[in-house]
Structure formats: C-alpha cells, structure tokens
Structure 1
C-alpha cells in the first residue's frame, strides 16, 4: 500500500464523524458540507458525499427537508435526528479515546527515538 492509499483510508474512516459534526450545528446544505470539508483539507467529492448521506439517513441518524430557493430548484437541508445525536456523542467519545491512545503510542515512539539518539550503544 502506498502513502496516498493509506491517507485515503484514514480520511474515509473519519469522514462520517466529520459530516455528523457539521450537521449537528443545524440545518445544512450538501454543498456547504463539501465546502467546509474541503477547507479543512478533507478532500471529498459529491460522488462520495451523497451515498454517505443516504446511508446515514437510512440508518436513522439524519433527516432532511426541502426548502424552496429563489435562485433555482428547492434545496435539501440535512439535520440530525435524536438517534443521530446519540450516535454522534458515542462516536465523539470513541474519537477522544482513540486520539488519546494514538498520542500515547506516538509519544512513546518519539521518546524511544530520543533516548536511542542520546545514548548510542
């Protein structure tokens, strides 16, 4: 596996979490999600986002409503359901636990590297 593939897999793993966080702030349009993810350097395209939104809706975590637009066709705005809010809270707890665990592993590796560099055999 090359580095680009590894990076894509890592990003895919957190995309759902980031999308749920964006939607948790209130009603949001899909293109606004794409803009925010892109500005956060999480590159995602419509072909990835829309199937994921459909899967999240089918899981009962999202709902949407159509809002008329004065500048074109109606827009679909997404919101979290109560079940989605509970799911996001559980994901967030898992994220913090995982981030702490990874930080411990990385720090230990860095500490061992520093010790090896300062104590050559």
Structure 2
C-alpha cells in the first residue's frame, strides 16, 4: 500500500527544511529534529540519517561543543555547497509551489445557461 501523499511530500522537502534551519543558526541534530518535528511533523528517526547523508554530500559540516550537562554536542553548520544547495532548492520549491497553487485555485462556476429567446 503506498504511503499517503503528505508523508511523501514531507520526506521530499525535508532536506530543504534542514538547510533552511541551519541557514538561520548552527545547531545540533536533536534541536533540528525537534524544530522540524514541531513544524512539519517529521520524527527524529528520519532526521538523523539525513544529517549523516548531508554531511557525506558536503552540504553540512560538524564541530563539537562541550556541554556542562553531559557529553559534547555535535553541531552542524552549512558549507558553501550547502548554501548553494539551499538557494537552488529554495528557487525550485517556490516555482513548484506556485505551480501547485495555480492548480489549486478555485475553479470558476460555469455561467448559468441563458434562455434562448426565439421569436
């Protein structure tokens, strides 16, 4: 049975959302996952593999920050390639969203047929 469209859409745009979050502020994976969970309903289990893949692809890089309340945290930040990907994907998303919005515009009701006046 295929997944509902909303899950497919969320997964498809998740990378763009992560790039957008990191463009605003460098952050650690748990906080990114929490933000995206609240914003678009994606769980942590989906975020962590994506973060690893984005690092492998050179879109993000990591660094450690010591924590007084436990082990060091791994923070993520965008690389120059990540900034470029964000720009390209944002432009593509906006064009796609405009096209979908145009398709979703209410369809005008057909005009009532006018009686033909035959003399």
What interval of TM-score do these two structures reach, taking the shorter chain for normalisation?
0.7 to 0.9
Distance 2:92 2:34 in 1: 26
Distance 1:36 1:18 in 2: 10
Residue correspondence of structure 1 range 91-106 to structure 2 within 5 A: 91-106=89-104
SS of the counterpart of 2:65?
Answer: strand
Q: TM-score scaled by structure 1?
A: 0.85
State the shift of 1:84 in Å: 0.6
- What is residue 56 of structure 2 aligned with on the other side? 58
Aligned-residue CA RMSD (Å)? 1.9
> CA deviation digits over 1:41-100, x for unaligned, max 9?
x12222211110011111110001011100000000000000110111000100111111
Instruction: Could you tell me which runs of 5 or more consecutive residues in structure 2 were left unpaired when the two chains were aligned.
Output: 114-119
Q: Is the 8 A contact 2:37 2:44 kept in 1?
A: no
- What is residue 13 of structure 1 aligned with on the other side? 12
1:119 aligns with 2:112: yes
Higher Cα Rg, which structure = 2
SS of the counterpart of 1:115?
Answer: coil
Distance 1:119 1:86 in 2: 52
- What is residue 29 of structure 1 aligned with on the other side? 28
- What is residue 49 of structure 1 aligned with on the other side? 47
Q: TM-score scaled by structure 2?
A: 0.86
1:75 aligns with 2:73: yes
